[in-house]
Amino acid sequence: MSFRSLKLIDPLLRALDDLGYDEPTPVQKQAIPAVLAGRDLMAAAQTGTGKTAGFALPLLNRLTLEGAVGPLGVRCLVLAPTRELAEQVFNSFRKYGAHVPLRFGVAYGGVPIEPQIGKLKKGLDVLVATPGRLLDLQRQGALTFAQLQTLVLDEADRMLDLGFAADLDAVFAALPPERQTLLFSATFPDTIRALAGRLLRDPLSVQASPANAAARTVRQLVITTDKKSKPELFLHLLRERGWSQVLVFAKTRKGVDQLVGLLQQQGVRADAIHGDKPQPARLRALARFKAHDVDVLVATDVAARGLDIAGLPLVVNHDLPTVAEDYVHRIGRTGRAGATGEAISLVGADEVDLLKAIETLIKQVLPREEVPGFEADHRVPSTGTPPKSAQPAGRKPVAKPSANPAAKPGAKPAANPAAKPAVKPAAGPRTPTRSPRPAGGFAPATPAQPVSPRTKPATRIPQGAVVVAAGRGAKAVAKAAAKSAAKTGGRSGGKPASATAKKRT
């Protein structure tokens, strides 16, 4: 199938030829005809599979054929969760619409609002905006929604994750009810499906790939280490493996700045993107990274969606994300448009629950490696199906004492005081009953260990036996001996029980 067969107009086909687009992706094949027909749409696809073109191309086609916009008006509104994604979608509309007479604009916070107001005075055919800045513009009277034809929610799940629910409700209340609504996202949790039920009318559902799946073109790997060793391990890998362009994700803004500081001290060209940085600084860092003026770009999840970096070979998760779905978006920055890529996660024992959640989401257990010199002192427990034996390789399982030795005739009992009465010394060093903890990891779960001298044995003491336990006082020994002797006529070995106890003590 070609783009021409989707009945797009010639100016759009010419722009696609300029960009080197040969044929539509699976999501585009399904979405473009539906959007051209005016259908509401709920489409899910892996990140990097062409979702933006899936709605941008048919909308540009319709807007070109259906008149012009008036002052302060907006005909198509695209909402995005982050500034980076808004900028990316805006640039996509400009590239695809290079040969059509339409007006495009973008609005987000962190930059002066006056230029955005000025752009809206003549009206815009397409406005890409974040919810907060859009409401600011509306409250200042800089735009109206009377001419709105289509609303697009791009990465709606992320908007809810970032706390935009109230802003979204305010936007929806201001929009005309008669409109086309499109929801495009890589993931569709229950909250988004509920939102779609409120906003969409008889929508067509498009599932171009398994939900929450990572691209098959991305090789994924976990390297286990300790939390404190991660920065040095990353620096070691950077040098050892000759990485030249790496996008690194850290959990916090402070963590981003600390890692960038370490890298710069070691002579590595590194820069940062996070929410505390002004938007011009974030755009400048991204531009330097794309131009290979920076080798390592460290970011928080603000960059997990919306960064379109052609040919990015590697993504490193210095810290795992707290939301499993964000892992899919992070590694989706590489392996885009059919290219291959690699995603490496540095994982400590404190992140095992996060790792398990990610592996449950993507339905696979990620392969693991250790780097010599950076092995974890605290082993990361297995997240896959545990083996039948929990013992580590090279260690023999400890036999579990039998609760009933008579159940198997001829079986050697694990512990039976009557089999060979032995008197343990009352003093002296105790021999450890547990195997030593394996170096570099948590001690695995083991079968029950032999009972300690202070634990009552589970087996019954035969008649006439006198048991002396190390650490017990003479009075307790005498009492035990008296009980035993009472069962055999009050004597033990032909002597009074009390006499026997006194000799033994």
User: Block means of pLDDT (10 residues each) for the chain, length 505 residues?
Assistant: 91 93 88 94 76 94 92 96 89 96 95 94 96 95 95 85 84 94 80 85 80 74 96 96 94 93 95 86 89 94 70 94 86 79 95 94 92 92 56 38 43 45 43 39 38 41 43 46 50 42 38
46 and 67, same domain (yes or no): yes
Can you list the positions of beta strands (E) in 5-132? 41-44, 74-79, 104-107, 124-129
Is position 422 within any domain?
no
Same domain, 100 and 241: no
Q: Is there a domain that residue 78 lies in?
A: yes
Please tell me the distance from the alpha carbon of residue 109 to that of residue 479, in angstroms, as a whole number. Answer: 83
Same domain, yes or no: 261 and 190: no
**Rounded to an integer, what distance in angstroms lies between the CA atom of residue 265 and that of residue 122?**
50
- How many CB atoms within 10 Å of residue 29? 18
228/396 Cα distance (integer angstroms): 32
Residues 6+ apart with CB under 8 A from 306: 80, 82, 83, 84, 85, 86, 87, 88, 89
* Residue 303 belongs to some domain of the structure: yes
Task: Give the phi and the psi of residue 420 in degrees, each rounded to 5.
Answer: -150, 90
How far is Cα 153 from Cα 147, in angstroms, rounded to an integer?
18
Whether residue 183 is found in the same domain as residue 128 = yes
| Whether 56 and 120 share a structural domain | yes
- Listed in sequence order, the DSSP H helices in 209-250 are 230-240
**Residues 123, 37 within the same domain:** yes
Those residues whose C-beta lies under 8 Å from the C-beta of residue 186, and which sit 6 or more positions away, are 44, 45, 46, 47, 51, 155, 212, 325, 328, 329, 332
pLDDT at 104: 97
Residue 472 structural domain: 463-505
Residues making up the chain, counted from first to last: 505
Q: Report yes or no on 486 lying in a domain.
A: yes
Q: Do 71 and 142 share a domain, yes or no?
A: yes
Q: Is residue 412 situated within a structural domain?
A: no
> What residues contact residue 404 under an 8 Å CB cut-off, 6+ apart?
none
- Same domain for 258 and 162? no
Reference 298, options 277, 327, 270; nearest CA is 270
d(CA 367, CA 223): 9
Neighbours of 408 (CB within 10 A): 10
DSSP β-bridge partners for residue 249: 299, 317
**Which pair of structure tokens corresponds to residue 442?**
């948590």
Residue 304's closest CA among 44, 42, 47?
47
Residue 340 domain-assigned? yes
| Residues 251 and 319: beta-carbon distance below 8 Å | yes
In a domain, 294, yes or no: yes
Joined together, the tokens standing for residue 324 give: 């499993």
Specify the pLDDT at position 453.
Answer: 39
Residues 147, 36 share a domain: yes
DSSP SS3 for 159: helix
Of 225, 257, 261, residue with least CA distance to 346: 225
129, 198, 224 from 441: Cα distances, Å: 49, 51, 11
Count of other CB atoms within 10 angstroms of residue 74: 27
Asked which of 153, 182, 207 is the last residue of a domain, the reply is 207
Tally Cβ neighbours within 10 Å of residue 53.
25
Same domain? For 282 and 227 the reply is yes
User: Does a structural domain hold residue 424?
Assistant: no
What does the angle CA 237 – CA 239 – CA 241 come to, to the nearest 5 degrees? 60
Q: How far apart are CA 475 and CA 492, in angstroms?
A: 17
Q: Do residues 143 and 28 share a domain?
A: yes
Q: How many domains does the chain fold into?
A: 3
Asked if 305 and 81 touch (Cβ cutoff 8 Å), the reply is yes
> Which of 325, 318, 410, 334 has its CA nearest to residue 360?
325
The pTM is what? 0.59
168 and 93 share one domain: yes
Cβ proximity of 26 and 54 under 8 Å: no
Picking from 184, 207, 230, the residue at the C-terminal end of a domain is 207
